Amino acid sequence: MPWLPHPSKTKKNRIFNTMEDNNRHTQSAMERASLRYGRETLRPDPVLTDPYIRCLVPTDIQIDVDLQKHCLATKFIDDKLLSTIDKIDGLRQVVLLTDGMDTRPYRINWPPSTIIFDVSPDITFRRSTQNLQDVGAKIRRSCLLLHVRSETSDIEQVLCSKGYNGARPSFWVFQGLPLQTLGNFKDILRLVSNLALKGSLFVGELPSSFFETDKSTKMEWMDKIFTSHGLKVMMIEYDEVARNLGKQESTPHCQENVLFVAEQLQFSDVQVRNIRLFFCLIFLVENKTFNSLQMEIWRREFERIEEGDEEGFEEL
């Protein structure tokens, strides 16, 4: 059953309690995907176009009208994602925390040397990937898609083992990953806080079920929880996104999800380690503890960690 990392190394936080929960979240993912196809892609003037979504869902699925804002959120996240990673030199890292039916790896025109980590439920991801491959969907040749099962007990360790480098910039997207409690989301914030390079962005859509406060105090609550994990957050209004796109927001004002953009303000764990290595090296050199050969070995090792192993990306 799926788990997320818990602040205690000996305790894990369960996401799904039963197979029924798994089925329920799969149904929710299908509803969001169907919305992108049936309610948006087929419109004369769609907010976004998803050419692959038709292969993922049945055409007769019933959709909750409240999900219309999902398309606005998806378009906003897509635009923010591309405008940000286009400014990154060298290897680009994108982490998608999703429901397993995210078509971004296939439909977005990624810059060269982009590595995409999709963290999502394994069953849904494998089924979606097979359907996408059956219709000829492919990742851009110069890019790479790697899946991380949200069921794993240590997402951080698996990400790093697959090549994620906390010494390089990254962009994190949270949209659709099934979480049951606020504690689960705090685990996600801790994950971003540990792994994201200072200045990296975390953008997403937070479920309304996590909020017990009204709109006037929601920003204060958001600021408190993100700041406690070293992140500066800003809430984005759906109406504002609609206006910027030249669209009229007509969805009834019911309880809605929260669209946000957050920036990493602190150093990642790898950056902290590199800083410690740097000052340790200075101390050893000043105290003449190193000979020239040892110092050269340390210098090369430090540069390797700092720059990241981009040759490894080409090998993958």
Q: Which region among 82-91, 174-183, 206-215 has the lowest average model confidence (pLDDT)? A: 206-215
Question: Residue 136: pLDDT band by 50, 70, 90 thresholds?
Answer: very high
The pLDDT value given to residue 59: 59
Q: Is residue 67 a contact partner of residue 35, using CB atoms and an 8 Å limit?
A: yes
103, burial (CB in 10 Å: exposed 0-12, middle 13-18, buried 19+): buried
pLDDT in tens, 276-303: 776 676 766 666 655 666 666 666 665 6
Q: Is residue 113 a contact partner of residue 90, using CB atoms and an 8 Å limit?
A: yes
- From the list 90, 273, 261, the residue with the least C-alpha distance to 168 is 90
Question: Residue 54: pLDDT band by 50, 70, 90 thresholds?
Answer: confident
The pLDDT value given to residue 29: 56
Q: Where are the domains of the chain?
A: 3-266, 272-315
The pLDDT value given to residue 166: 95
Residue 229 has pLDDT above 70, yes or no: yes
pLDDT in tens, 32-47: 555 554 555 556 566 7
The pLDDT value given to residue 44: 53
Q: Pick the more confident residue, 114 or 288.
A: 114
pTM of the model: 0.79
The pLDDT value given to residue 14: 43
Alpha-carbon distances of 208 from 22, 201, 277, rounded to whole Å = 20, 21, 43
pLDDT in tens, 255-270: 578 899 999 999 999 9
CATH code at 3-266: 3.40.50.150
Q: Which residue has the tokens 């059956």?
A: 134
Work out the average pLDDT over 248-258: 63
Q: CA 230 from chain center: how many Å?
A: 17
Q: Pick the more confident residue, 130 or 306.
A: 130
Residue 188 CB partners (closer than 8 Å, separation 6+): 4, 97, 174, 177, 179
Q: Pick the more confident residue, 35 or 19.
A: 35
- From the list 207, 198, 189, the residue with the least C-alpha distance to 264 is 198
The pLDDT value given to residue 9: 38
The pLDDT value given to residue 170: 97
The pLDDT value given to residue 6: 36
Residue 51 tokens, joined: 């050419």
Question: Residue 12: pLDDT band by 50, 70, 90 thresholds?
Answer: very low
Mean pLDDT, the chain, whole residue set = 78
The pLDDT value given to residue 98: 93
The pLDDT value given to residue 17: 39
Work out the average pLDDT over 137-147: 94
- Percent of the chain at pLDDT > 70 equals 65
